[in-house]
Each structure stands twice: as C-alpha cells, then as structure tokens.
Amino acid sequence: MGIREDFERDGYVVCRGVFTGDFLAEMQADFDRIIKQLDASGDEVRTIWEGAKSISKEGAFLWHTHNVQQYSAAWMRALTHEPFLSPVREILGNDIVLHHTKLFQKPGERGAAFPMHQDYPYFPTEKDTMMAGVIHMSEAVDEMGCFRVYPGTHKLGRVEDSHGQSEHPVLAKYPLEGSVALEAQPGDVVFFHYFLLHGSKPNSSDRLRKTVLVQMYAGDDIVEPGCQHCDEKLVLSGWNHRISRDRAGAKD
C-alpha cells in the first residue's frame, strides 16, 4: 500500500523522519524562540478549549499561536521542504495551498487535552480536500498527550457541529480512551484528513510536547464563504486555480 491508499483507507498516514539533522535543530530552536517571544509579548497565548476543560486538570493550558511562518524563515522553508511536500502531493496532487499553521506546546503535568472532534466545521472547503500535517518538534508518547485518532472515521463525512466544543451524539460514540495513540519522534509528521476524528489526552509527564500543525488544501479547491478563520492562500506547490485579484487582497 502507498501513502495515498493508506490515507484514503484510514484518513491519516504517519511519515517518519521527515525533518532531520541541522534543519530539524534550526526548526526546534525557532520553535522555542517563538514561545519566548510570545511569553514576552503580553498577549494571551496560554489557552484551553472550552470543550477540553472537563477532561483536563484544573489550571491546565497550552501555548498556542497561528502562522509560525510569520515568525521564522526556517519555518517558511519547512513548508516547502521536499520530504514534507512529497506525501502531500501523493494525496492532493501537485497543486497545494496553505490555509494556516498553528503552534501548540503542552506543558508537563498541566498540558490540556483536546476532545475528539473534526476540523471540518472550522474551515470547510467546497471539495473537502482540506488536510493537515502535524510536525513534531519533540517526542510525543501517550503520557505526553500525543495525537490520537479513530482510523477510518473520515468516511463519516461532514458531521455538523463536530467541533468538539460541546456534547455531540456522534462524538459520544468515539470516546478519547478508545482512540489509537500515534506516538512520534522529533521530525515525524502525521498527515490527516479534516473529517478524521482526532484529539489528545492531557500531558501527564514532566516533559513539554511541541507540535506545529499545517493545514493545506488542493489548488482547485476553495474555502467556503463565511469562514472567519485565517486563510493564508500561500501556494506551497504548483498553482492556485481559485485565486482572484480580490481574494489576493487588492484594495484599489
């Protein structure tokens, strides 16, 4: 089985050692630099999902920010790193558009959980090609609250209100405890479809869990009207067939 076949069957695929050596070390250093800059900014960067409060310790949180490529040239290069893009091309084809990136750092012992959810409600696209790559900057084992999935649940398709922020009859059939833990090492990437049910447990270890999530969609797809989430529209490979002067931000 190949990457595309595995992705179509399970809704996800794990690629090992996508980032290595000096480049991985540079990405890790810039990840830590982003956290340091965030903490010095005075912005509210420690957060927890409303839906996660009932499955996390009191006082649990995580560090979070969007668009690491706006902080770091190394992270801009990471998005076009051929070993990263190659699996995405197998899944989406040559034309790949960045929607956004998102940094998560789970502190040891107080790292917040994520309830089971789909990403679809946050940024639906017309052709449902939206997928993500979770880039690991640290080890992520089960006790650290690693990424968890229900294989094959992308075949559920669009489940309305499956955002994980409130109780849901479909999500109730897929408890966090029954999901599959995808443990990973620094440089590994988990690619998954935005219909796939996924989440993570709290970080009960004494170590930081560090990841960056990269949301992407096919170049012939487009985010549906009314979506309030940031859409970078940055072409990582090939061509954006749906861009226009107005969508590119022209004001005059």
Domain spans, the chain: 3-237
To the nearest 10°, report the CA torsion of 63, 100, 141, 191. 170
Residue pLDDT, tens place only, 137-176 = 999 999 999 999 999 999 999 999 888 787 889 999 999 9
At 61 the pLDDT is: 82
Provide CB contacts within 8 A for 123, sequence distance 6+: 99, 130, 194, 215, 223, 227, 229, 231
Residue pLDDT, tens place only, 65-78 = 999 999 999 999 99
**DSSP-derived pairing of the beta strands 189-193 and 131-136:** antiparallel
Its pTM stands at 0.95
Token readout for 169 is 């009859």
The label of the residue with tokens 């990263």 reads 84
Low-confidence ranges of the chain (pLDDT < 70): 1, 49, 51-52, 55, 250-252
At 203 the pLDDT is: 93
CATH architecture entry for 3-237:
Sandwich (2.60)
At 166 the pLDDT is: 78
At 250 the pLDDT is: 65
